[in-house]
Amino acid sequence: MAEPFAAVDVIRAKRDGGRLSDEQIAWVVDAYTRGAVAEEQMSALAMAIFLRGMDSAEISRWTGAMIESGERLSLDVSRPTVDKHSTGGVGDKITLPLAPLVAACGAAVPQLSGRGLGHTGGTLDKLESIPGWRAELSTAEIMKQLNEVGAVVCAATEGLAPADRKLYALRDVTSTVESIPLIASSIMSKKIAEGAAGLVLDVKTGSGAFMKTRDQARELARTLVEIGTAHGVATTALLTDMNTPLGNAVGNAIEVAESVEVLRGGGPADVVELTVALAREMLGLAGLSDVDPAEVLASGRAYETWCRMISAQGGDPAAALPAPKHVHVVEAERDGVLSTLDAYGVGVAAWRLGAGRARRGDPVQYAAGILCLAKPGERVAAGQPMLELHTDTPDAVPAALESLAGAVVISETNDAPASGEGIVLETIKL
């Protein structure tokens, strides 16, 4: 049977700055998924979209076509459903305390997550450092856990948005990743297919984020909220700061340990602040705004839910986490105030120590990472330990130290002007 369109005509239309019709979009995404549009043709179209952009209606239809390429989960649970997605950062372990916290407050959280690539960590990599824990669950197992525990963090099932999985890999090797229409449709096709009624987006901005400037982050956040709303999902976005690593731990096992501290009522103030802020937004969308997540976190109920969530996926919440074979301490070179701890530099250093991967499918070291012993604004003395570099491969330390050159700045005084802002910079709703 003849195809209704020719790929070259669709490519030319976008290359010349035209608007793709709903029919063209539906066809090209479907045809690419089933192999009728070749990789080189979709590469050309992705570059045309990268250069020419898309309007909001095109982005919404493109997202819909990617959702339609696979299945859409029907969440048969008695609780209101709400999810969260982060655009990725350094030390961003927020999903770990957040999912059990929101579940302990009465919502159901179907958190289908991914693995890390480059300097940003992946939620599944962190959780897989827990002995016995497994990421791959069937749809039936996801539903069972949502009903019995209230939260599940696992890998996306193969049937969700297969067009996105194929296009994501293509964008990675054709330098078309940094396109707001393609980023937004990629994120939202998976999240909408997941079936939650509400979605809160944590859109990060700063040196350790994908979107370096607040204007870029705001544009992406608005696009994401527009797509979610157009597809019937109550959607809110928070713009959050990612110039400094979140918390003190950057890696896999050490981020799990820090998350458990938060769930037990302690942990770094910035991690607690963002966890509670996102929980409030999620509970608002779920119709549970009368529940105080800070109170639930302090009560220990979220930690109990964490233990049940980990156990349900074969993990042992009481088991010892992997420890590094080698620890290298970075000391302060002089007295002063730590004025900068650059998230990107720390993230790349942790990746070089083995905490992340250069290519999909590469193994990670669960014990690798960086423990930040001081944060910006704190006074330090010469010789004081500033960072601990954790790795199983000591040969990786020199490259990690190279990544940290310029990332750690000690000043005579704390000259940085106070912004008056917390970690949450803006809230974006329609």
Q: Are residues 142 and 287 in the same domain?
A: yes
pLDDT digits (tens, 9 = 90+) for 49-80: 999 999 999 999 999 999 999 998 889 899 99
Q: Are 92 and 98 in contact (CB under 8 A)?
A: no
Same domain, 266 and 380: no
Instruction: Flag whether 375 is in a domain.
Output: yes
- Classify residue 62: in a domain, yes or no: no
Residues 393 and 364 in one domain: yes
pLDDT in tens, 113-137: 887 766 677 899 999 999 999 999 9
Examine residue 425 and state whether it is found in any structural domain, yes or no: no
Does residue 345 share a domain with residue 280? no
Which parts of 114-168 are beta strand (E)? 151-155
If asked whether residues 215 and 336 sit together in one domain, one would say no
Residue 67 lies in a domain: no
CATH of the domain at 127: 3.40.1030.10
**Residues 337 and 400 grouped into a single domain:** yes
**pLDDT above 70 (res 418):** no
Q: Which of 117-121, 150-154, 239-243, 386-390 has the lowest mean pLDDT?
A: 117-121
Residues 283 and 342 in one domain: no
Q: Are residues 114 and 251 in the same domain?
A: yes
What are the beta bridge partners of residue 409? 340
Percentage of the chain surpassing pLDDT 70? 97
Contact 339, 408 (CB under 8 A): no
Classify each residue of 289-313 as buried b or exposed e, where b means 16 or more C-beta atoms within 10 Å of its C-beta.
eebebeebbeeebbbebbbbbbebb
Q: Mean pLDDT throughout 407-423?
A: 76
Alpha-carbon distance 206 to 242, whole Å? 5
Query: Domain boundary residue among 289, 319, 349?
Result: 319
329-341 pLDDT tens trace = 999 999 999 999 9
Nearest residue to 185 via CA among 341, 303, 324, 60: 60
The residue from 299, 319, 339 where one domain ends is 319
Average pLDDT over residues 170-179: 87
Per the structure block, which two tokens stand in for 163? 């067009």
Query: For residue 22, what are the domain limits?
Result: 7-53
Q: What is the pLDDT of residues 277-332, one digit of tens each?
A: 999 999 999 999 999 999 999 999 999 999 999 999 999 999 999 999 999 999 99
Nearest CA to 81 out of 64, 95, 99 is that of 99
Q: Express as a percent the part of the chain with pLDDT over 90.
A: 86
Asked if the structure places residue 28 within a domain, the reply is: yes
Q: Please indicate, yes or no, whether residues 172 and 305 belong to a single structural domain of this protein.
A: yes
What pLDDT sits at residue 118?
Answer: 63
Tell me if 267 sits within 8 A of 297, measured CB to CB: no
pLDDT tens column, 222-281: 999 999 999 999 999 999 999 999 999 999 999 999 999 999 999 999 999 999 999 999
What amino acid positions are annotated as catalytic residues? 85, 164, 171, 186, 190
Hey, what are 392's tokens?
């199983």
Q: Are residues 148 and 200 in the same domain?
A: yes
Quote the pTM value.
0.94
Give the integer Cα–Cα distance in Å for 108 and 197.
Answer: 10
Choose one of 278, 301, 319: the last residue of a domain: 319
Mean pLDDT score across all residues of the chain? 94
Kindly report the three-state secondary structure assignment for every residue of 360-405.
Answer: CCCCCCCCCEEEECCCCCCEECCCCEEEEEEECCHHHHHHHHHHHC
| Pair (245, 391) in one structural domain | no
pLDDT band at 375 (very low <50, low <70, confident <90, very high): very high
Domain count for the chain: 3
Q: Is residue 249 part of a domain?
A: yes
Q: Which two tokens stand for residue 252?
A: 């896999």
Helix (H) or strand (E) holding 305: helix 301-312
CATH of the domain at 30: 1.20.970.10
Query: What number of helices (H) and strands (E) belong to the chain?
Result: 16, 13
Same domain, 364 and 255: no
Six-digit token string for 24: 């063209």
Per-residue model confidence (pLDDT) at position 94: 97
Give the count of beta carbons closer than 10 Å to the beta carbon of residue 392: 16
Say if 416 falls within a structural domain: no
Helix axes 95-104, 301-312, angle to 10 degrees: 110
pLDDT at 415: 60
- Would 77 be classed as within a structural domain? no
CATH of the domain at 336: 3.90.1170.30
Q: How far is it, in rounded angstroms, from Cα 18 to Cα 353?
A: 46
